[in-house]
Amino acid sequence: MSAPSPAIAADRLVKRFGVVAAVDDVSFRIGKGEIFGFLGPNGAGKSTTIRMLCGILRPTSGAATILGLDVNRENDRIKPLVGYMSQSFGLYSDLTAEENLWFYSRLYLDAATAREKTREVIDSLGFEPYRKTLASQLSGGWRQRLALGCAIVHDPEVVFLDEPTAGIDPVSRRTMWDYFYGLAEKGKTLFVTTHYMEEAERCHRIGFIWKGRLAALDSPFRIRTEFHAHEIVTVRTGRLNEAFRRIRGLPGILDVNIYGEDLHVAVPRADEAIPRLRAALEEAGISVERLERIQPSIEDVFVSLSKTM
């Protein structure tokens, strides 16, 4: 039996701006109903990749398809099938929430269907109390929710979400992600960029792009267990900053970062590093509450990848 056709496919995509390769030989396949997380630092190529997949930018080379349609040659057929929530605030501030939804729905739908879909989005996203509120007067979380509504009001099969939860509170972020899961359960495909590592854990698969190149592509579990070049030792002490300075200066330490109450120390071999770390801290008069090897987090892995590419 042949494999099902992907909702999104990229084949050796390249986008150059002069001599700079913003996206360099990127390939992936994303299934229908999948939530795909696309991670990387600012300037890594995330938004450029989305714009190529949406047909907004033409690739320098390579190819891409949405639901089997070529993004360059069949863009008019793709547009009704795709929703795009960009980083920039794309709403009309002098229109109400309901008017924004109506406007975007009418770009794709006849009046009767647009009215129905606008009502559905108002209900599903909880906009009834705010439907007559101007977009400019909504809080940050509700503006993001309205931007999502405008991206999906025409009921697209594929939704691109470029940092959809940036700058909003944790409760609003949780609400947004619950809604994303609901879309995926209906068979919609979501392509999500984010800087939040805990959001990466919520995706079915994640890709990490660094300087335009795809450094890792797999499930969050496999990313954590298979894509790290180093081992991680966690250190907890009541004198965190002093411990950080002491450890950072030791030979054989590849990296050290503060994570809440703990330090995460990247080393070639944890079993060799732990006795040396304990001795160095005790010599400095720093008592240790916890010192052990741990499973790398998604953030540990991506920091490691960014320093080895």
**CATH code linked to domain 8-219:** 3.40.50.300
Contact between residue 9 and residue 65 where contact means Cβ atoms under 8 Å apart: yes
**Rama region for 208: left / alpha / beta (φ>0; ψ in -120 to 50; rest):** beta
pTM of structure: 0.87
pLDDT of residue 86: 84
Query: Cβ distance 98 to 132 under 8 Å?
Result: yes
DSSP 33-62: T-EEEEE--TTSSHHHHHHHHTTSS--SEE
Tell me how far apart the alpha carbons of residues 296 and 40 are, in angstroms, rounded to a whole number.
Answer: 17
DSSP reduced 3-state for 16:
strand
DSSP secondary structure of 294-307: EPPPHHHHHHHHHH
Q: Where in the chain is the domain with CATH 3.40.50.300?
A: 8-219
Distance CA 152, CA 183 (A): 10
pLDDT of residue 228: 67
Closest CA to 63 of 55, 186, 254: 55
pLDDT value, residue 140: 86
pLDDT in tens, the chain (309 residues): 456 789 999 999 999 999 999 999 999 999 999 999 999 888 899 999 999 999 889 999 999 999 999 998 998 899 999 999 987 667 889 999 999 999 999 999 999 999 999 999 999 999 999 999 999 999 888 999 999 999 999 999 999 999 998 888 888 888 899 999 999 999 999 999 988 888 999 999 999 999 999 989 999 988 888 766 688 999 999 999 999 999 998 998 988 988 888 999 989 899 999 999 999 999 999 999 999 998 888 888 887 777 666
Of 262, 208, 272, nearest in space to 38 by CA: 208
Domain with CATH 3.30.70.980 in the chain: 228-308
> Which secondary structure element, helix H or strand E, spans residue 98, and what is its range?
helix 97-106
CB atoms within 10 A of CB 295: 11
Res 259: pLDDT: 86
Count of alpha carbons within 13 angstroms of residue 61, beta-carbon side: 4
What pLDDT, on the 0 to 100 scale, is given for residue 124?
93
- Distance of alpha carbon 168 from its chain centroid, rounded? 15
Which CATH code for domain 228-308? 3.30.70.980
* Residue of 85, 58, 87, 55 whose CA lies nearest to 71: 55
CA pseudo-torsion sign 173, 178, 183, 188: positive
How does DSSP assign 188-228, residue by residue? -EEEEE-S-HHHHTTSSEEEEEETTEEEEEE-HHHHHHHS-
Q: Are strands 8-17 and 61-66 parallel, antiparallel or unpaired?
A: antiparallel
Check if the beta carbon of residue 132 is closer than 8 Å to that of residue 100.
no
Q: Which token pair is 303?
A: 């920091």
